[in-house]
Chain A
Amino acid sequence: MLKVANLVTEFASIKALNDISFQAKPGRITTVIGANGAGKSTLLRTISGLERPTSGSIKWFDEELTDKSVEAIVRSGVAQVPEGHAVISQLSVAENIELGGLFRKRQARGDLEIATKEVYELFPILFERRREPAGSLSGGERQMLAISRALVARPKLLLLDEPSLGLAPLISAQIISIVDQLCKSTGLTVLLVEQNANTALAVADHGILLALGKVVADLPAKELIADSALRAAYLGY
């Protein structure tokens, strides 16, 4: 269970997150929606340790994540697919994927091979291009690679920041459904940030609506989909 309590994250003079509290159920998808600049990415980056909160706490089951380093957080089972196609363009596709599982190499060599095979099955194009530098991939292909890198880490908590960005509709639907399956089959917990609310909420258990760094709605996903007034007020449709 991910528990975020009274989280505040500041940049220079603005409060990107202003007293955020919510919980994400284990084995479920929790979707975070909100307009541009609402603080969605900041929330994920704060959880994964890329940003330091000014106050508040983040707990993953009994583990306090708040003041840990990014590396330590990742090692305790949290993986993030950051916004934008975050790959290392000079490294080959295979190396990018290998990198994702590197910290598990000692304990889980066999499983790494399986995990790698799985993502190659998921995205055959990556297998085809595995020896090429990641920089030569198309925008969408890079996004697939970034997701793969996170998946081979076999995370328990997956933070997805706009995974559909730059992906063709078919692929983005496919990814969402894969994530959904993973939750169901492995108990993966997912925090999914999407601009386009509907597809993301459709598979989610819970929905959180952010505006100006505050939680304005924390409802079961179905209710959030249905609440057109709320959406109209905060998302413009």
Chain B
Amino acid sequence: SATAASVPGVSKSQIVLGMQLPQTGGASPGYNKIDDAARAYFDYVNSKGGVNGRNIKLVVKDDEYKAGRTITTARELINNDKIFAFFGSVGTQTHLSVVKDINRRGIPDLFVNSGYSGFYTDPKKYPNTFGGLGTYTVEAKILGKYLKEKYPDKKIGILWQSDDFGRNALAGLAASGLKFEARKTSASFVAGTHGSIGLGTQIGQLKANGVDIVIIAAVSSATAVAYATAAALAYKPTKWAVISVGADATTFQTILGARGTAPATSAALLAGTITASHAPAAGDADDEYIKAFKKINDDFNNGADKRWDNNVLQGMNIAYLATSALLGVGKKLTRPKLVSYLKKNGSKLSSAAFSPIGYSGTTHEAFTGFWLGEYDASLVLKPIDGTRVVYTTDSANGPVTVSNYKRPAIAADALPRVG
């Protein structure tokens, strides 16, 4: 029909989504599982008849986490693959290079895998861009408030990677009243150098200044190196608290495991670490969403590495969200319709997350709530003190409050329901 032909990426039988992420290169480890997980979920949806009779096709481009490359792959997705919408782009710096262009062209930019609040907090600037994570600021605020109240007399320090992620986390912690002093309680490193330059001096500084509680705002591989370095320096802080990006237990154990650390030992290292999550813990085998997603992952994931972890969960979850949004728009699918649907109804969409979606007229942040947990000895993230409390706040200076959001149950067929 005439209308279908005029919408790029949408035909009678198909909806094409495009994703850019580092599949190769230094920034790829971990993230390169997100696309396979999302595709697995879409394949599952397709196997169930698709969305309104249309199959979802996910086209993936490797941008190697180089912004210069992202610009080219985005043009390829737009012009050659004729995608209907961008979906799940990974990375702040890379996405920055194309977000303006995508919005200018009116292409929906769904569920961006970046916690950088700059993408979401000014919907007038980027009307088509919608988050796929909680922002670093929100998470850090929640974590900071908790630590400050729980450990009023302890010396709290931070190890952060000096990029947008680290800086956002620092800003969030500052908003919660946690301030750090350079060269005393604040140790930073250039992102990506934890291997070659090492974290010896940074950890050494924290130790020398008697920091009791160390917050880590860094990627998972750096977290693993930080723990190992601390062990080598015989530094045992009372508590570690890790921003969720760097708290992937699987990565942690893989790296230390391959270093010859027995799983039990590395588990003991990580056990007791505090981190936050908007979604259920990947290791929470009893969670209904996890169960359903895991099954789909087993059956449909054709990726190189389909081991279940936070990245796979995230990929599945945003695919679930995308499916609900597409279902919600209905049969007559156009780009403006999708965008306005998300603006109006986004906050009603449900997913595996224990947090509501934050989309509104003033922000396009996805998950505004986090719950805090501690890794137990088997490296499952368990709510602190046994009961899960979801806190919510905004990316600015708003207060941290307890959320009363109730996550809807997942349907038996693991497909989203809308309306």
A and B touch in the complex (CB under 8 A): no
